[in-house]
Every structure is written in C-alpha cells, then in structure tokens.
Amino acid sequence: MSRSAELARLIRDRAGDAPPEYGLILGSGLGHLAAAVQGVAIPYSELPGFPHAGVSGHVPQLVVGQLQGRRVAVLGGRAHYYESGRADVMRLPLEVLKALGTERLILTNAAGSLRADLPPGALMLLSDHIAFAGTNPLIGEPSEARFVPMTDAHDPTLRAGLKTAAEAEGIALPEGVYCWFSGPSFETPAEIRAARILGADAVGMSTVPEVILARFLGLRCAAVSVITNMGAGLSDEAISHDHTKAMAPLGAAKLERILRRFLGQGA
C-alpha cells in the first residue's frame, strides 16, 4: 500500500470514513480556523512523513470534521520551500487529502501587497500566479502526468463561489496575481518593483508549489491572501515575520467569515 493510502486509512480509523468535501491549508497567523472545526485533530507528528511545519504562526495538525455543515480536512500548518529546499514538501499531505476523497482545496496565505488599493488587512483572491522562485515541486516526478496544464489552475467556479460569499458578507475580495518568491529573506525594493512590472499584485513565500501539486493530483483549488504589509520599499513600515503574525488577524477575521459563508452556501 502506498504511504498516502496507509495514512488515509489511519486518518479514517480515527476521524471516520466520509470523504472531506474540502481541504483547507491555513497560512501564517490564520491557523485558528482549525479550532472551529468539530472533529478530530491529529498532530503531524503522528502522521509519518508529514512535515514538521517549523514556522511559528502555524499549528502543525490535521483536523477532520464539520465546519458550517460541510466535512472538511484542515491542514493547520504548511511547510515552506525555504525550510528544506524541497519544493515538494507538501506533496504527501496533499496526496493524503486526495486519498481521503477530497476534490477541492482552499489555500490561504499571508502576503505583501504591491497595490495601494490592497493595504494591510485587505484580502486578495488569487486569479493566477507566477512561480518566480524558479523551481517546481514536480521536478523529478517520472510520470507523464508531470506536464500539468496550469490554465485555470485557480478554479473559476471556486473563485466565483468565494466572491459570492464575500459579497454576501459585505467584504471586498478583489482578484490579483500572486508572485512566489522563495524566501526566507524578504524581497528587496528592486525585486518588488520587478514583480510589479511582471504583472504581480502580491508577493509571498508559499501556496504556488501546493497549487501545482494539487493540480497534478487533480484537486480543484482556489487561494486567498491576507495582506499583512506593503512590499519592500512601498511604505515606511518595517517588514518582519513578527509583523506578519501581528497583522494577519486583521484580515483573518474577514477571511473566516468568507470561508464560513462559502462552505455554508454549498458552492
């Protein structure tokens, strides 16, 4: 049996057989939504091969249960490329979601903004992304399936559902392009200017490898950024991980309302 099938069996034994309708990956400072799920929490340390998710602001556990009447599987912590140099570090958790029968994935992250109309505390729905980190989580994958089409990687139907939910909550959810930088250092002002010229609206250190892996596995996905700061050089505020964690709750409360409405409306 494959590792993901074994882990899926372990999770089903503890959390029940019904396939989660949605997988959710929670970004820096956004982890508390996992606490709202009525279900079973399994620390990553009990799931062999799951990443240790060593970045503060993340809660490394999988929670399977009900949220707004839907069965969900929440990955409370993610591992990043910059922790290990492995862009495929989230492959096993995503394979496990797939093995559990999950077909849809909502990703969240904290990001820096390149647009004056997206200040700290704003949300941005990813319309598309740029894999600027220059690597790919499918490097080394031997099967022909590695040639994944990425048109509409950010699923139009899921995006429409999230926009409807945001409108119903009276929360602005503009769309934009997210540019993946490897981190862990933040960008220079010149890199931020370059990203803007390339067509990006926000920058961050996650999500893109997970979207590529999710599309490889056939999961439909959509992602939302919580803007925690203006990109380097665009404002006087100092950029730091502490600042990211401090600012994430500003947008996280709005994001939680959108996600609850989205799940409840049955998109």
Q: Which residues bind ligand HPA (CB under 6 A)?
A: 110-112, 181, 186-187, 203-205, 228-229, 231, 239, 244
243 flagged as catalytic = no
HEC profile for 69-83? Answer: CEEEEEECCCCCHHH
Residues ≥6 apart with Cβ < 8 Å to 152: none
**Local structure of 53: helix, strand or coil:** coil
Closest distance between ligand HPA and the C-beta of residue 232, in Å?
A: 6
Nearer to ligand HPA, 161 or 231 (CB): 231
Nearer to ligand HPA, 81 or 186 (CB): 186
141 flagged as catalytic = no
Instruction: Quote the CA–CA distance of 90 and 104 in Å, as a whole number.
Output: 16
237 flagged as catalytic = no
How far CA 165 is from CA of 154, 169, 255, 265, in Å, comes to 17, 6, 10, 8
- Closest-CB residue for ligand HPA? 112
Nearer to ligand HPA, 112 or 137 (CB): 112
Closest distance between ligand HPA and the C-beta of residue 17, in Å?
A: 37
Catalytic residue among 202, 206, 248, 267: 206
Q: Residue 244 half-sphere exposure, CB side, CA atoms within 13 Å?
A: 24
Catalytic residue among 8, 22, 28, 111: 28
Nearer to ligand HPA, 205 or 259 (CB): 205
Catalytic residue among 44, 58, 79, 222: 58
Closest distance between ligand HPA and the C-beta of residue 22, in Å?
A: 24
**Local structure of 21: helix, strand or coil:** coil
**Local structure of 113: helix, strand or coil:** strand
45 flagged as catalytic = no
Closest distance between ligand HPA and the C-beta of residue 48, in Å?
A: 30
Catalytic residue among 41, 53, 80, 178: 80
Closest distance between ligand HPA and the C-beta of residue 266, in Å?
A: 31
Residues ≥6 apart with Cβ < 8 Å to 27: 58, 78, 107, 108, 109, 110, 206, 207, 226, 248
Instruction: Quote the CA–CA distance of 188 and 194 in Å, as a whole number.
Output: 10
Nearer to ligand HPA, 62 or 205 (CB): 205
Q: Which two tokens stand for residue 186?
A: 């933040």
82 flagged as catalytic = yes
235 flagged as catalytic = no
Buried/exposed 142-156: b ≥16 CB within 10 Å, e otherwise: eeeeeebeeeebbbe
185 flagged as catalytic = no
Catalytic residues: 28, 58, 80, 82-83, 110, 205-206, 229, 241
